[in-house]
Chains A and B, each alone.
Chain A
Amino acid sequence: MKKQSFYVKMTVNSLIRRRSRMFVALLAVAIGATVLSGLITIYYDIPRQMGQEFRSYGANLILVSSGGESTLSAAGVESAKPYFPPASVVGIAPYRYEAVKINEQPFMAAGTDLEEAKKTSPYWLVNGRWPAGAGEALIGQEVADTIRLLPGSTFALTGTDADGAGFSRDFSVSGVLQTGGTEEAFIFMSLADLGEMAGDSGRIDIVECSVSASEASLNQIAAEITSHVPDITPRLVKRVTQSEGTVLAKLQSLVYLVTVVVLLLTMICVATTMMAVVAERRKEIGLKKALGAANSAIVREFLGEGLILGGLGGLLGVALGFVFAQTVSMNVFNRPITFQPFLIPATLAASVAVTGLACLLPVRNAANVDPAIVLRGE
Chain B
Amino acid sequence: MGMLELIDISKIYGSVNALRNIGLTVDQGEWLAIMGPSGSGKTTLMNIVGCMDKPSQGAVILDGVNISKESAKNLTAIRRDKIGLIFQQFHLISYLTALENVMAAQYYHSMPDEGEALEALARVGLKDRAKHFPSQLSGGEQQRVCIARALINYPMLILADEPTGNLDEANEGIVLEILRKLHQDGSTIIVVTHDPEVAEQAQRTVVLEHGRIARIIRNTSPGPGAGPSL
Contact B88 A291 (CB under 8 A): no
Contact A294 B76 (CB under 8 A): yes
A366 CB to closest chain B CB, in angstroms?
Answer: 14
Given A10-B104, A292-B79, residue A377 in contact with residue B112 (CB < 8 A): no
User: Cα distance A293–B153 when bound, in Å?
Assistant: 13
Contact of A290 among B50, B73, B77, B112 (CB under 8 A): B50
B130 CB to closest chain A CB, in angstroms?
Answer: 14
Stretch at the interface among B95-103, B171-179, B203-211, B214-222: B95-103
User: Cα distance A14–B93 when bound, in Å?
Assistant: 9
Contact of A376 among B43, B81, B104 (CB under 8 A): B43
Contact A297 B95 (CB under 8 A): no
The digit string for A267-304, where 1 denotes a CB below 8 A from any CB of B, is 00000000000000001100111111111010000000
User: Cα distance A115–B159 when bound, in Å?
Assistant: 92
B105 at the interface (CB under 8 A from A): yes
Contact B113 A291 (CB under 8 A): no
Task: Give chain A's interface residue range (CB within 8 Å of chain B).
Answer: 20 to 34
Within 8 A of B (CB), among A329-366: none
A326 CB to closest chain B CB, in angstroms?
Answer: 38
Contact A291 B50 (CB under 8 A): no
B34 at the interface (CB under 8 A from A): no
Cβ contacts under 8 Å, A292 to chain B: 76-77, 79-81, 105, 108-109, 153
Cβ contacts under 8 Å, B213 to chain A: none
Residue of A whose beta carbon sits closest to that of B78: A292
Cβ contacts under 8 Å, A289 to chain B: 76
Cβ contacts under 8 Å, B46 to chain A: 375
User: Cα distance A292–B110 when bound, in Å?
Assistant: 10
The digit string for A3-34, where 1 denotes a CB below 8 A from any CB of B, is 10011011001100110000000000000000
Cβ contacts under 8 Å, A284 to chain B: 93-94
Residue of B whose beta carbon sits closest to that of A294: B76
Contact of A293 among B88, B108, B161 (CB under 8 A): B108
Contact B109 A3 (CB under 8 A): no
User: Cα distance A376–B192 when bound, in Å?
Assistant: 13
User: Cα distance A214–B34 when bound, in Å?
Assistant: 84
Cβ contacts under 8 Å, A10 to chain B: 96, 100, 104, 107
Cβ contacts under 8 Å, B96 to chain A: 10, 13
Cβ contacts under 8 Å, A297 to chain B: 108
Cβ contacts under 8 Å, B103 to chain A: 1, 6
Consensus secondary structure, chain A interface: helix
User: Cα distance A218–B95 when bound, in Å?
Assistant: 63
Contact A283 B91 (CB under 8 A): yes
Contact B91 A374 (CB under 8 A): yes
Contact B113 A1 (CB under 8 A): yes
A371 at the interface (CB under 8 A from B): yes
B59 at the interface (CB under 8 A from A): no
Q: Which of A13, A284, A290, A375 has most B Cβ within 10 Å?
A: A375
Given A292-B108, A292-B109, residue A372 in contact with residue B47 (CB < 8 A): yes
The digit string for B111-153, where 1 denotes a CB below 8 A from any CB of A, is 1111000000000000000000100000000000000010001
B169 CB to closest chain A CB, in angstroms?
Answer: 22
Contact A17 B95 (CB under 8 A): yes
Contact B91 A371 (CB under 8 A): no
Given A283-B91, A287-B93, A372-B47, residue A6 in contact with residue B52 (CB < 8 A): no
Cβ contacts under 8 Å, A374 to chain B: 52, 85, 87, 91
Contact B77 A377 (CB under 8 A): no
User: Cα distance A83–B52 when bound, in Å?
Assistant: 79
Contact of B95 among A13, A290, A375 (CB under 8 A): A13
Within 8 A of A (CB), among B29-54: 43, 46-47, 50, 52-53
B184 at the interface (CB under 8 A from A): no
Q: Which of A7, A17, A18 has most B Cβ within 10 Å?
A: A17
Given A10-B104, A13-B100, A293-B108, residue A375 in contact with residue B76 (CB < 8 A): no
Q: Which of A7, A283, A292 has most B Cβ within 10 Å?
A: A292
B57 at the interface (CB under 8 A from A): no
User: Cα distance A116–B94 when bound, in Å?
Assistant: 72
Given A3-B107, A3-B112, A371-B52, residue A294 in contact with residue B73 (CB < 8 A): yes
Cβ contacts under 8 Å, B114 to chain A: 1
B89 at the interface (CB under 8 A from A): yes
User: Cα distance A159–B52 when bound, in Å?
Assistant: 108
Q: Which of B85, B107, B149 has most A Cβ within 10 Å?
A: B107
Contact A295 B47 (CB under 8 A): no
User: Cα distance A3–B91 when bound, in Å?
Assistant: 22
A89 CB to closest chain B CB, in angstroms?
Answer: 61
Contact B104 A291 (CB under 8 A): yes
Residue of B whose beta carbon sits closest to that of A292: B80
Given A13-B100, A371-B52, residue A291 in contact with residue B85 (CB < 8 A): yes
Cβ contacts under 8 Å, A291 to chain B: 80, 85, 104-105, 108-109, 149
Cβ contacts under 8 Å, B88 to chain A: 377
A367 CB to closest chain B CB, in angstroms?
Answer: 10
B103 CB to closest chain A CB, in angstroms?
Answer: 6
Subset of 7 A-B contacts with CB under 8 Å: A1-B103, A287-B93, A292-B76, A293-B76, A293-B108, A295-B73, A372-B52
Given contacts A10-B104, A291-B105, 9 further A-B contacts (CB under 8 A): A1-B103, A1-B112, A3-B107, A6-B107, A284-B94, A292-B109, A370-B53, A374-B87, A375-B161
Closest 3 CB pairs of A and B: A292-B80, A17-B95, A6-B112
